Amino acid sequence: MTDRLHRFLFEHADVRGEVVQLDEAFTAITQRAEYGPAVDRLIGEGLAAVALLAATLKYPCDLTLQLQAGGPLRLLLVQAGSDGSLRAMAQTSATVPADAPLDAQAAGGTLAITIDPESDAERYQGVVDLAGGSLGAALEHYFRESEQLATRVWLSAREGHAAGMLIQRLPASDAAGGDADAWARADQLAATITGPELRELAPGEVIRRLFHEEDIRIFDPMPFRFRCRCSRDRVAAMLQGLGEQEMRDTLEAEGLVEVRCDFCNEPYRFDAVDVEAMFTEPANRSPDSGQSH
Protein backbone atom coordinates (compact mmCIF):
# COMPACT_ATOMS: atom_id res chain seq x y z
CA MET A 1 0.00 0.00 0.00
CA THR A 2 1.31 3.45 -0.89
CA ASP A 3 0.77 6.71 0.99
CA ARG A 4 0.97 5.23 4.45
CA LEU A 5 2.75 6.20 7.66
CA HIS A 6 3.91 3.53 10.10
CA ARG A 7 4.64 4.45 13.72
CA PHE A 8 6.90 2.29 15.89
CA LEU A 9 8.06 2.28 19.48
CA PHE A 10 11.09 0.80 21.23
CA GLU A 11 9.75 -1.38 24.02
CA HIS A 12 11.28 -0.63 27.44
CA ALA A 13 12.93 2.53 26.07
CA ASP A 14 12.04 6.19 25.54
CA VAL A 15 12.38 6.12 21.75
CA ARG A 16 9.72 6.34 19.08
CA GLY A 17 9.79 6.60 15.32
CA GLU A 18 7.83 6.88 12.09
CA VAL A 19 8.35 5.94 8.45
CA VAL A 20 6.17 7.42 5.69
CA GLN A 21 5.96 6.87 1.95
CA LEU A 22 3.90 9.11 -0.35
CA ASP A 23 3.60 8.27 -4.02
CA GLU A 24 0.07 9.09 -5.17
CA ALA A 25 -0.25 12.33 -3.19
CA PHE A 26 3.21 13.53 -4.27
CA THR A 27 2.45 12.80 -7.93
CA ALA A 28 -1.01 14.38 -7.77
CA ILE A 29 0.39 17.62 -6.35
CA THR A 30 3.42 18.04 -8.60
CA GLN A 31 1.41 17.25 -11.75
CA ARG A 32 -0.75 20.32 -11.15
CA ALA A 33 2.06 22.82 -11.72
CA GLU A 34 5.37 22.96 -13.58
CA TYR A 35 7.79 23.75 -10.78
CA GLY A 36 10.86 21.94 -12.08
CA PRO A 37 12.80 18.99 -10.61
CA ALA A 38 14.43 20.83 -7.70
CA VAL A 39 11.17 22.32 -6.40
CA ASP A 40 9.33 19.02 -6.96
CA ARG A 41 11.87 17.32 -4.71
CA LEU A 42 11.46 19.96 -2.02
CA ILE A 43 7.69 19.57 -2.23
CA GLY A 44 8.06 15.81 -1.85
CA GLU A 45 10.35 16.24 1.15
CA GLY A 46 7.94 18.78 2.62
CA LEU A 47 5.00 16.41 2.23
CA ALA A 48 6.88 13.64 3.99
CA ALA A 49 7.90 16.11 6.70
CA VAL A 50 4.40 17.35 7.53
CA ALA A 51 3.08 13.78 7.57
CA LEU A 52 5.79 12.83 10.08
CA LEU A 53 5.17 15.92 12.21
CA ALA A 54 1.38 15.59 12.17
CA ALA A 55 1.61 12.01 13.38
CA THR A 56 3.54 13.10 16.49
CA LEU A 57 0.66 15.27 17.71
CA LYS A 58 -1.81 13.98 20.25
CA TYR A 59 -4.86 16.02 19.22
CA PRO A 60 -6.70 16.82 15.95
CA CYS A 61 -5.17 19.80 14.17
CA ASP A 62 -3.94 21.26 10.92
CA LEU A 63 -0.17 21.49 10.59
CA THR A 64 1.57 23.87 8.20
CA LEU A 65 5.22 23.96 7.20
CA GLN A 66 6.16 27.29 5.65
CA LEU A 67 9.57 28.12 4.22
CA GLN A 68 10.01 31.77 3.22
CA ALA A 69 13.16 33.07 1.59
CA GLY A 70 14.66 35.69 -0.68
CA GLY A 71 15.11 33.27 -3.56
CA PRO A 72 15.49 31.46 -5.83
CA LEU A 73 12.82 29.59 -3.82
CA ARG A 74 10.60 32.30 -2.34
CA LEU A 75 7.94 30.18 -0.69
CA LEU A 76 7.25 26.54 0.11
CA LEU A 77 3.93 25.93 1.85
CA VAL A 78 2.92 22.38 2.82
CA GLN A 79 -0.08 21.39 4.93
CA ALA A 80 -1.33 18.22 6.59
CA GLY A 81 -4.63 17.62 8.35
CA SER A 82 -5.48 15.14 11.09
CA ASP A 83 -7.73 13.43 8.54
CA GLY A 84 -4.66 12.52 6.47
CA SER A 85 -5.15 15.24 3.86
CA LEU A 86 -2.10 16.80 2.21
CA ARG A 87 -1.55 19.76 -0.09
CA ALA A 88 1.41 21.92 -1.12
CA MET A 89 2.46 24.86 -3.27
CA ALA A 90 5.62 26.80 -4.07
CA GLN A 91 6.71 30.14 -5.50
CA THR A 92 10.06 30.90 -7.11
CA SER A 93 11.87 34.01 -8.34
CA ALA A 94 14.39 32.12 -10.50
CA THR A 95 15.37 28.57 -11.43
CA VAL A 96 16.12 26.65 -8.26
CA PRO A 97 19.46 24.78 -8.54
CA ALA A 98 18.89 21.06 -8.33
CA ASP A 99 21.78 19.85 -6.17
CA ALA A 100 22.54 22.95 -4.10
CA PRO A 101 22.16 23.06 -0.30
CA LEU A 102 18.87 24.36 1.01
CA ASP A 103 20.32 27.68 2.17
CA ALA A 104 21.41 28.34 -1.43
CA GLN A 105 18.06 27.27 -2.88
CA ALA A 106 16.21 29.45 -0.36
CA ALA A 107 18.66 32.22 0.46
CA GLY A 108 18.10 33.95 3.79
CA GLY A 109 15.16 31.70 4.53
CA THR A 110 13.26 30.84 7.68
CA LEU A 111 11.21 27.77 8.51
CA ALA A 112 7.93 28.09 10.41
CA ILE A 113 5.85 25.24 11.81
CA THR A 114 2.26 26.23 12.66
CA ILE A 115 -0.21 24.04 14.53
CA ASP A 116 -3.90 25.01 14.37
CA PRO A 117 -5.96 22.84 16.75
CA GLU A 118 -9.45 21.89 15.65
CA SER A 119 -10.61 22.64 19.19
CA ASP A 120 -10.44 25.97 21.01
CA ALA A 121 -6.86 25.26 22.09
CA GLU A 122 -4.26 27.93 21.44
CA ARG A 123 -2.58 28.17 18.05
CA TYR A 124 1.15 27.45 18.12
CA GLN A 125 3.97 28.59 15.83
CA GLY A 126 7.71 28.00 15.99
CA VAL A 127 10.17 29.73 13.65
CA VAL A 128 13.85 28.88 13.07
CA ASP A 129 16.53 29.85 10.58
CA LEU A 130 17.48 27.31 7.94
CA ALA A 131 20.43 25.24 9.11
CA GLY A 132 22.33 22.18 7.97
CA GLY A 133 21.83 22.39 4.22
CA SER A 134 18.64 20.33 3.93
CA LEU A 135 15.01 20.39 4.99
CA GLY A 136 15.59 17.41 7.27
CA ALA A 137 18.45 19.21 9.03
CA ALA A 138 16.32 22.36 9.36
CA LEU A 139 13.60 20.31 11.06
CA GLU A 140 16.12 18.82 13.46
CA HIS A 141 17.18 22.39 14.26
CA TYR A 142 13.51 23.27 14.86
CA PHE A 143 13.09 20.42 17.36
CA ARG A 144 16.26 21.42 19.21
CA GLU A 145 15.25 25.07 19.45
CA SER A 146 11.47 24.88 19.85
CA GLU A 147 10.71 21.48 21.36
CA GLN A 148 13.94 20.58 23.19
CA LEU A 149 13.56 17.00 21.96
CA ALA A 150 16.43 15.02 20.45
CA THR A 151 15.07 14.22 16.98
CA ARG A 152 16.57 12.91 13.75
CA VAL A 153 14.84 13.31 10.38
CA TRP A 154 15.58 11.77 6.99
CA LEU A 155 13.71 12.93 3.87
CA SER A 156 13.98 11.84 0.23
CA ALA A 157 11.98 12.54 -2.94
CA ARG A 158 12.67 11.49 -6.53
CA GLU A 159 10.56 10.74 -9.61
CA GLY A 160 7.15 10.49 -8.00
CA HIS A 161 8.31 8.80 -4.78
CA ALA A 162 8.57 10.73 -1.51
CA ALA A 163 9.52 9.25 1.83
CA GLY A 164 10.70 10.17 5.28
CA MET A 165 11.74 8.76 8.61
CA LEU A 166 11.77 10.35 12.06
CA ILE A 167 13.13 9.01 15.33
CA GLN A 168 12.71 10.89 18.58
CA ARG A 169 13.97 10.54 22.11
CA LEU A 170 11.04 10.97 24.46
CA PRO A 171 11.30 12.54 27.91
CA ALA A 172 12.72 9.92 30.26
CA SER A 173 10.11 7.92 32.12
CA ASP A 174 10.35 6.70 35.70
CA ALA A 175 9.68 3.11 34.69
CA ALA A 176 12.22 0.66 36.09
CA GLY A 177 14.28 -1.37 33.67
CA GLY A 178 14.50 1.27 30.95
CA ASP A 179 17.14 0.90 28.24
CA ALA A 180 19.42 3.90 28.73
CA ASP A 181 21.47 3.18 25.59
CA ALA A 182 18.50 2.76 23.25
CA TRP A 183 18.65 6.31 21.82
CA ALA A 184 22.32 6.05 20.90
CA ARG A 185 21.73 2.70 19.18
CA ALA A 186 18.61 3.93 17.39
CA ASP A 187 20.47 6.99 16.10
CA GLN A 188 23.40 4.95 14.83
CA LEU A 189 21.21 2.33 13.16
CA ALA A 190 18.84 4.83 11.56
CA ALA A 191 21.77 6.81 10.14
CA THR A 192 22.60 3.88 7.84
CA ILE A 193 19.42 4.38 5.78
CA THR A 194 19.85 5.57 2.19
CA GLY A 195 17.46 7.66 0.12
CA PRO A 196 16.68 4.83 -2.35
CA GLU A 197 16.01 2.39 0.51
CA LEU A 198 13.69 4.86 2.19
CA ARG A 199 11.74 5.41 -1.04
CA GLU A 200 11.69 1.87 -2.42
CA LEU A 201 11.44 -0.52 0.54
CA ALA A 202 8.10 -1.00 2.28
CA PRO A 203 7.97 0.93 5.59
CA GLY A 204 7.71 -2.27 7.60
CA GLU A 205 10.76 -3.62 5.82
CA VAL A 206 12.70 -0.41 6.54
CA ILE A 207 11.91 -0.73 10.25
CA ARG A 208 12.80 -4.44 10.36
CA ARG A 209 16.09 -4.01 8.48
CA LEU A 210 17.27 -1.15 10.65
CA PHE A 211 16.10 -2.41 14.04
CA HIS A 212 15.88 -6.20 13.66
CA GLU A 213 17.80 -6.78 16.89
CA GLU A 214 15.59 -4.41 18.88
CA ASP A 215 12.30 -5.08 20.67
CA ILE A 216 10.00 -3.00 18.45
CA ARG A 217 6.24 -2.49 18.48
CA ILE A 218 4.76 -1.41 15.12
CA PHE A 219 1.33 0.26 15.07
CA ASP A 220 -1.36 0.16 12.39
CA PRO A 221 -0.55 2.36 9.39
CA MET A 222 -2.06 5.82 8.96
CA PRO A 223 -3.24 6.69 5.41
CA PHE A 224 -2.53 10.02 3.69
CA ARG A 225 -3.94 11.49 0.47
CA PHE A 226 -3.96 14.66 -1.57
CA ARG A 227 -7.01 16.80 -0.87
CA CYS A 228 -7.32 20.53 -1.43
CA ARG A 229 -9.63 22.55 0.81
CA CYS A 230 -10.48 25.24 -1.71
CA SER A 231 -14.12 25.85 -2.64
CA ARG A 232 -16.15 28.41 -4.56
CA ASP A 233 -17.55 29.80 -1.31
CA ARG A 234 -14.09 30.29 0.18
CA VAL A 235 -12.82 32.00 -2.97
CA ALA A 236 -15.89 34.25 -3.02
CA ALA A 237 -15.29 35.22 0.61
CA MET A 238 -11.68 36.09 -0.25
CA LEU A 239 -12.82 38.27 -3.17
CA GLN A 240 -15.31 40.05 -0.95
CA GLY A 241 -12.43 40.89 1.35
CA LEU A 242 -10.64 42.64 -1.53
CA GLY A 243 -13.54 45.05 -1.86
CA GLU A 244 -16.34 45.83 -4.29
CA GLN A 245 -14.49 48.50 -6.26
CA GLU A 246 -11.57 46.24 -7.07
CA MET A 247 -13.94 43.52 -8.28
CA ARG A 248 -15.84 45.94 -10.49
CA ASP A 249 -12.59 47.33 -11.91
CA THR A 250 -11.49 43.80 -12.77
CA LEU A 251 -14.83 43.07 -14.39
CA GLU A 252 -14.59 46.18 -16.51
CA ALA A 253 -11.05 45.38 -17.62
CA GLU A 254 -11.33 41.61 -18.06
CA GLY A 255 -15.04 40.89 -18.37
CA LEU A 256 -14.60 38.19 -15.75
CA VAL A 257 -12.96 37.65 -12.38
CA GLU A 258 -10.92 34.46 -12.46
CA VAL A 259 -8.98 32.97 -9.56
CA ARG A 260 -6.90 29.81 -9.61
CA CYS A 261 -6.15 27.92 -6.42
CA ASP A 262 -2.42 28.01 -5.68
CA PHE A 263 -2.57 24.47 -4.32
CA CYS A 264 -4.58 22.52 -6.90
CA ASN A 265 -4.76 24.97 -9.85
CA GLU A 266 -8.57 24.72 -9.94
CA PRO A 267 -10.08 27.77 -11.72
CA TYR A 268 -12.95 29.71 -10.18
CA ARG A 269 -14.74 32.19 -12.46
CA PHE A 270 -17.11 34.97 -11.39
CA ASP A 271 -19.10 37.06 -13.88
CA ALA A 272 -21.01 40.32 -13.37
CA VAL A 273 -24.02 38.53 -11.89
CA ASP A 274 -21.81 36.69 -9.39
CA VAL A 275 -20.01 39.87 -8.34
CA GLU A 276 -23.30 41.72 -7.93
CA ALA A 277 -24.56 38.96 -5.68
CA MET A 278 -21.38 39.11 -3.54
CA PHE A 279 -22.01 42.72 -2.55
CA THR A 280 -25.82 42.73 -2.32
CA GLU A 281 -27.57 41.63 0.83
CA PRO A 282 -29.89 38.67 0.07
CA ALA A 283 -32.86 40.47 1.64
CA ASN A 284 -32.40 43.38 -0.78
CA ARG A 285 -32.43 41.29 -3.94
CA SER A 286 -35.57 41.29 -6.03
CA PRO A 287 -36.87 37.83 -6.95
CA ASP A 288 -36.85 39.01 -10.56
CA SER A 289 -33.41 40.64 -10.47
CA GLY A 290 -31.63 37.71 -12.07
CA GLN A 291 -28.79 38.03 -9.59
CA SER A 292 -28.17 34.30 -9.53
CA HIS A 293 -27.35 31.58 -12.00
pLDDT in tens, 213-267: 999 999 999 999 999 888 889 898 889 888 889 888 888 888 889 888 888 888 8
* Alpha carbons 20 and 224: distance in angstroms, whole number: 9
Query: What whole-number distance in Å separates Cα of residue 105 and Cα of residue 37?
Result: 12
Q: Which residues contact 190 (CB under 8 A, 6 or more apart)?
A: 17, 152, 154, 165, 167, 210
Tell me the CATH class for 232-284.
alpha beta
| Residue 287 reports pLDDT greater than 60 | no
Residues 164/134, Cβ–Cβ less than 8 Å: no
Highest mean pLDDT among 80-84, 179-183, 280-284, 287-291: 80-84
Instruction: Read off the pLDDT of residues 73-121 as tens digits, 9 standing for 90 and up.
Output: 999 999 999 889 999 999 999 999 988 999 899 999 999 999 998 877 7
List the chain domain ranges.
4-226, 232-284
Q: What is the pLDDT of residues 131-184, one digit of tens each?
A: 889 999 999 999 988 878 899 999 999 989 999 999 999 887 644 456 778 999
Confidence of residue 290 (pLDDT cuts 50, 70, 90): very low
Number of C-beta neighbours around residue 134 at 10 A: 19
- CATH H superfamily, domain 4-226: Hsp33 domain (3.55.30.10)
**Where residue 281 falls among pLDDT bands split at 50, 70, 90?**
low
pLDDT at 286 over 50: no
Whether 4-226 and 232-284 share one fold: the answer is no
DSSP states of 159-225 as a string? TTEEEEEEEEEPPPP--TT--TTHHHHHHHHHTT--HHHHHHS-HHHHHHHHSTTS-EEEPPPEE-E
